[in-house]
Chains A and B, each alone.
Chain A
């Protein structure tokens, strides 16, 4: 397969462009054209990033953030998928909840953090709940849409062979809706990362958000930037991984990729 090679050729100009942006910054810091206290040299930031990873400092905050993210994300997805299937199938359930959902959905979930802290404190419960809420809405909306788009012919095919309701749910409804659900989950993944980092910044008791703020408070500016690079890499890796999962699980959607 020449596909990876083609991909490399495709992203090469983009990478060159990033390098072209970093180079003047590097020179400017070396020639003292900017205040190095606030804007460290990219090379220094990357060196520190490397140190943080090599010395293993990265693990504790990364693990904290990842486990909160995974927990809240899983809760949010499960709730949204179950609820979305109900709403998509039953008009009455939909009519009952739709106004409430349309009201809650536009709230930036990070704005809920003060209230969440009030009720749940600064611990993991607060973070899991907020991440769960941030995950919930995009997945819910997509699931409802997906369920509605399922062709009745598929459902009737299962019925004519005498399949039970449970079998129709697991073997028809869920796979047929999966492309929609996964698209929602991909959006939620980015939002959840934002929310978990902000929550950690505010509560300052561990995680990547905490170490970024700590760096800033202690004037460890280079460290602060280095952790930022790590968060960026994490976001990138998560998205990359998710797209891979998406292609794998719903391979029939764009078969030409096979």
Chain B
């Protein structure tokens, strides 16, 4: 796998800014506050991670950013443009890759599904683009396979290739590595970082895996228990390129990770007590 240093590649991503995002769901006759007044700013080409306990509203927040669900209040900006509640040129990478890949399309058709409707490309140009991204995830040979003929890890790589082939200004990742085995996950981490250094899109990753967040991201935002609100933003800033073995053993990595874990393990009623 070739490693490109971030400095050499121009930044393609745009900034994301969210202001005062809240989301209330009505269910069972009552209302429930899932996300509470979240403000966040992601720099162009930055890799930001959001960690938080289960059910704290991470997916909800990310889907609001993606424009897939409208917020109850607040605004989402991509660059200078207000894109609240509209799917702008951001791509949401689903945790459930097996449901997100369309079983009636083969790998190639699935990848093309992400861009051919936006851009007037000749058939061969579209295929070239498709194969460029399939090559990045190492699946060129499988272009005519159907999703159900691939392993889980391969399916997720197709989903990643498809998301990137759209050449979005921002990639929104909702625990995309949580349903593959540990070894495949490390593989996908390396792949994701490699793609990110090549393309320099803006990335927002939601996860409850603190190690994953520190390994991949520049900064890590911590969400509280439901209703989700930001309680901390930590500069992880591990030196790049990051390598599976050495980075995980770096004393700085361990320190940041412990700090985040302590923050996350703080009980909701003790939230105002400073973390140890």
Known contacts A153-B100, A160-B66, A160-B92; decide if A167 and B117 are in contact (CB<8 Å).
yes
Contact B87–A159 (Cβ < 8 Å): yes
User: Cα distance A154–B90 when bound, in Å?
Assistant: 17
A150 smallest CB distance to B (angstroms):
10
Known contacts A151-B99, A153-B96, A153-B99; decide if A160 and B87 are in contact (CB<8 Å).
yes
Residue of B nearest to A252 (CB): B103
Contact A154–B114 (Cβ < 8 Å): no
B81 within 8 A of A: no
Contact with A along B147-187 (1 / 0, CB 8 A): 01100000000000000001000000000000000000000
Which positions 209-258 of chain A face chain B at CB distance < 8 Å?
A: 250-252, 255
A162 within 8 A of B: yes
B76 smallest CB distance to A (angstroms):
14
Residues of B within 8 A of A157 (CB): 94, 100, 102
Residue of A nearest to B172 (CB): A160
Contact with A along B97-140 (1 / 0, CB 8 A): 00110111000000001110110000000000000000000000
B216 within 8 A of A: no
Interface SS of B by simple majority: loop
What number of residue pairs across chains A and B have CB atoms under 8 A from each other? 53
Give which listed residue, A151, A156, A164, contacts B92 with CB less than 8 A.
Answer: A156
User: Cα distance A252–B96 when bound, in Å?
Assistant: 18
* Interface size class of chain B, counting residues whose CB lies under 8 Å from the partner chain: 20 to 34
Residues of B within 8 A of A75 (CB): none
Contact B99–A162 (Cβ < 8 Å): no
Known contacts A154-B102, A156-B68, A255-B148; decide if A163 and B92 are in contact (CB<8 Å).
no
Contact A161–B100 (Cβ < 8 Å): no
Give which listed residue, A158, A160, A172, contacts B90 with CB less than 8 A.
Answer: A160
Contact A160–B91 (Cβ < 8 Å): yes
B89 within 8 A of A: yes
A186 smallest CB distance to B (angstroms):
19
A175 within 8 A of B: yes
Contact A159–B68 (Cβ < 8 Å): yes
Contact A154–B99 (Cβ < 8 Å): yes
Residues of B within 8 A of A156 (CB): 63, 68, 92, 94
Contact A161–B68 (Cβ < 8 Å): no
B146 within 8 A of A: yes
Interface SS of A by simple majority: helix
Known contacts A154-B100, A252-B103; decide if A162 and B118 are in contact (CB<8 Å).
yes
Residues of A within 8 A of B117 (CB): 161-164, 167
Give which listed residue, B89, B148, B166, contacts A252 with CB less than 8 A.
Answer: B148
Give which listed residue, A158, A162, A251, contacts B89 with CB less than 8 A.
Answer: A162
User: Cα distance A193–B181 when bound, in Å?
Assistant: 53
B57 smallest CB distance to A (angstroms):
17
Which positions 22-59 of chain A face chain B at CB distance < 8 Å?
A: none
Which positions 171-210 of chain A face chain B at CB distance < 8 Å?
A: 171-172, 175
B144 smallest CB distance to A (angstroms):
13
Contact B68–A160 (Cβ < 8 Å): yes
User: Cα distance A250–B148 when bound, in Å?
Assistant: 13
Residues of A within 8 A of B99 (CB): 151, 153-154
User: Cα distance A88–B115 when bound, in Å?
Assistant: 29
User: Cα distance A251–B91 when bound, in Å?
Assistant: 29
User: Cα distance A154–B67 when bound, in Å?
Assistant: 15
8 contacts between A and B (CB under 8 A): A156-B63, A157-B100, A160-B91, A162-B89, A162-B117, A167-B117, A252-B103, A252-B104
